[in-house]
């Protein structure tokens, strides 16, 4: 098959949706090399392209023709050609419309929108389509999105949900949301859980020397996530404050900047927790497995997730998990994890203390969690997605 992909996130985003796309693309190229893979993106960050392995065919709006780039090759020259197309890139017309023309020129059989959207004219092209819907947070937590952004997300997601030949939902909760908000038929949606970076799946000893540059404590509870209200780090800090004198572990928060980072820092200061709570930003992807595996416990009290990839990363790292009850996070965590009301700091504190102080519980949870994670390896992920492609193509 000649497979096209919306690669904007894969080639420009260092976390989240970018990780999801790169994991899938690498697994596809490794396990199904007989296909041709075409990546479409308005721009490329060379560092991220070098995380892809194989001769992916890259299309940029400024080049308007096929280019095959190899790891280590610079995109600087082609970026210089972008000036005549800079307006189109800024308003997103190429990604939302022009890509379809390029797909037809290259005789692409199937196009996969990897992050909630498809080109608006693709339903007239005859090209088969699959779209991955990660979440509908913009409908369920409207307070976290500017009005204009919400309107664009609604428009793009509604079109993709209506016109895609098949929808991949990353969790049962996302499938239920699609059926509720957009009245999508259940049989049109396939639930396929994402996987995590291959570095988390290798049976190798973590490189603990990589931890020195982050000055991590000897023992710690870990949380990973950007500093936004739904990630709920403030409740986690309050819960930690309740048990700090009963445990040896400190609290480490790993995440990029967000709208409440300053509030989180102020809360830490107000509770005089500066010596026990550490915020770390800018952890390199290759260091994350080591950061996870050295943790005594992973805690993820998020209020809403499409799936909850950090939970799965912890399970692959053989670290016990305490997370929010209900929804997609329980799907990610499996039966071996403990789930609590994320708004109840007493329940959250109690679960953390239970795991850290009960003989044998940490080992029991880590073993059960690791077993659950094996159902979501990148090999399983790619195989299920390829099955969808073949069904859509009638193979």
pLDDT at position 258, please? 83
Copy the structure tokens of residue 273. Answer: 């927790």
pLDDT at position 203, please? 63
Q: How many Å apart are CA 20 and CA 134, to the nearest integer? A: 10
pTM for the model stands at: 0.86
Measured CA to CA in angstroms, residue 39 lies from 12, 61, 77, 212, 307 at distances of 12, 12, 18, 37, 25
Copy the structure tokens of residue 369. Answer: 């969690």
What total number of domains does the chain contain?
A: 2
Q: How many Å apart are CA 361 and CA 359, to the nearest integer? A: 6
What is the helix (H) or strand (E) element at residue 67, kind and residue range? strand 67-68
* pLDDT band, residue 16 (cuts 50/70/90): confident
Strands 110-113 and 297-300, sheet pairing: unpaired
Measured CA to CA in angstroms, residue 265 lies from 269, 271, 280 at distances of 6, 10, 12
Residue 170 DSSP class: S
pLDDT in tens, 344-393: 999 999 999 999 999 899 999 999 999 999 999 999 999 999 999 999 99
pLDDT at position 191, please? 97
What number of other Cβ atoms are within 10 A of residue 159's Cβ? 18
Same domain for 215 and 344 = yes
CATH number at residue 168: 3.40.50.2000
Q: How many Å apart are CA 252 and CA 249, to the nearest integer? A: 9
Residue 3 DSSP class: E
CA proximity to 16, closest of 362, 334, 205, 255 = 255
Strands 67-68 and 110-113, sheet pairing: unpaired
* pLDDT band, residue 77 (cuts 50/70/90): very low
Beta strands across the sheet bearing 250-254: 277-280, 250-254, 220-224, 297-300, 321-324, 338-340
Same domain for 48 and 181 = yes
Percent of the residues in the chain that have a pLDDT greater than 90, as a whole number: 70
Same domain for 216 and 153 = no
Domain around 211: 198-375
In DSSP notation, 70-132 reads: -TT---HHHHHTTGGGHHHHHHTHIIIIIHHHHHHHTT-SEEEESSS---TTGGGTT-EEEEE
Q: What is the mean pLDDT of residues 183-201?
A: 93
Q: Are 36 and 45 in contact (CB under 8 A)?
A: no
pLDDT in tens, 143-178: 777 888 889 889 999 999 999 999 999 999 999 999
Whether 286 shows a pLDDT value over 60: the answer reads: yes
Same domain for 90 and 232 = no
Determine the distance from the C-alpha atom of residue 43 to the mean position of all C-alpha atoms in its chain, rounded to a whole number: 20
In DSSP notation, 327-391 reads: THHHHHH-TTSEEE-TT-HHHHHHHHHHHHHSTTHHHHHHHHHHHHHGGG-HHHHHHHHHHHHHH
- Listed in sequence order, the residues at least 6 apart from 232 whose beta carbon sits closer than 8 Å to its beta carbon are 301, 302, 303, 324, 342
Same domain for 166 and 41 = yes
Strands 67-68 and 57-59, sheet pairing: antiparallel
- The mean of the pLDDT values for the chain is 89
- Listed in sequence order, the residues at least 6 apart from 102 whose beta carbon sits closer than 8 Å to its beta carbon are 40, 59, 64
Same domain for 113 and 30 = yes
Q: What is the mean pLDDT of residues 245-264?
A: 93
pLDDT at position 80, please? 40
Same domain for 136 and 245 = no
**3-class DSSP state for residue 306?**
coil
Same domain for 153 and 82 = yes
Same domain for 160 and 146 = yes
* pLDDT band, residue 207 (cuts 50/70/90): low
pLDDT in tens, 108-140: 999 999 999 999 999 999 999 999 999 998 888
Same domain for 367 and 262 = yes
Q: How many Å apart are CA 28 and CA 3, to the nearest integer? A: 11
* pLDDT band, residue 60 (cuts 50/70/90): confident
Q: Are 116 and 131 in contact (CB under 8 A)?
A: yes
Q: What is the mean pLDDT of residues 74-89?
A: 46
Same domain for 161 and 282 = no
Q: Are 295 and 265 in contact (CB under 8 A)?
A: no
* pLDDT band, residue 212 (cuts 50/70/90): confident
Same domain for 309 and 207 = yes
pLDDT at position 62, please? 60
pLDDT in tens, 17-52: 999 999 999 999 999 999 999 999 988 898 898 899
């Amino acid at each position: 098959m000649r497979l096209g992909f919306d690669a904007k996130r894969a080639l420009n985003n260092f976390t989240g949706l970018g990780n999801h796309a790169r994991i899938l693309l690498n697994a596809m190229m490794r396990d199904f090399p007989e296909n041709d893979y075409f990546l479409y993106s308005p721009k490329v960050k060379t560092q991220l392209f070098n995380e892809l392995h194989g001769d992916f065919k890259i299309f940029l709006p400024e080049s308007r023709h096929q280019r095959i780039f190899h790891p280590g090759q610079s995109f600087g020259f082609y970026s210089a050609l972008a000036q005549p197309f800079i307006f189109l890139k800024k308003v997103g017309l190429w990604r939302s419309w022009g890509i379809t023309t390029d797909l037809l020129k290259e005789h692409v059989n199937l196009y996969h929108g990897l992050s909630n959207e498809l080109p608006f004219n693709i339903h007239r092209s005859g090209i088969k389509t699959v779209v991955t819907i990660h979440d509908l947070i913009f409908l369920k937590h409207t307070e976290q999105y500017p009005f204009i952004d919400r309107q664009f997300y609604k428009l793009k997601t509604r079109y993709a949900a209506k016109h895609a030949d098949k929808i991949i939902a990353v969790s049962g909760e996302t499938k239920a949301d699609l059926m509720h908000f957009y009245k999508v038929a259940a049989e049109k949606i396939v639930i396929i859980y994402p996987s995590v970076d291959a570095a988390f799946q290798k049976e190798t000893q973590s490189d603990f020397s990589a931890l020195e540059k982050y000055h991590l404590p000897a023992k710690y509870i870990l949380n990973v996530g950007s500093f936004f209200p739904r990630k709920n780090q403030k409740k986690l800090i309050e819960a930690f404050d309740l048990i700090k004198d009963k445990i040896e572990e400190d609290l480490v928060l790993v995440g990029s900047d967000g709208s409440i980072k300053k509030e989180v820092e102020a809360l830490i200061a107000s509770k005089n927790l500066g010596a026990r709570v550490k915020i770390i930003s800018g952890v390199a992807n290759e260091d994350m497995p080591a950061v996870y595996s050295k943790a005594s416990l992973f805690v993820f009290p998020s209020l809403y997730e499409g799936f909850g990839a950090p939970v799965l990363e912890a399970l692959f790292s053989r670290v016990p998990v305490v997370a929010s009850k209900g929804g997609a996070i329980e799907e990610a965590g499996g039966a071996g994890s403990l789930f609590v009301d994320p708004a109840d700091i007493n329940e959250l504190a109690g679960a953390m203390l239970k795991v850290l102080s009960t003989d044998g519980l940490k080992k029991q949870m880590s073993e059960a969690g690791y077993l659950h994670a094996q159902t979501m390896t990148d090999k399983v992920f790619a195989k299920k997605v390829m099955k969808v492609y073949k069904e859509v193509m009638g193979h």
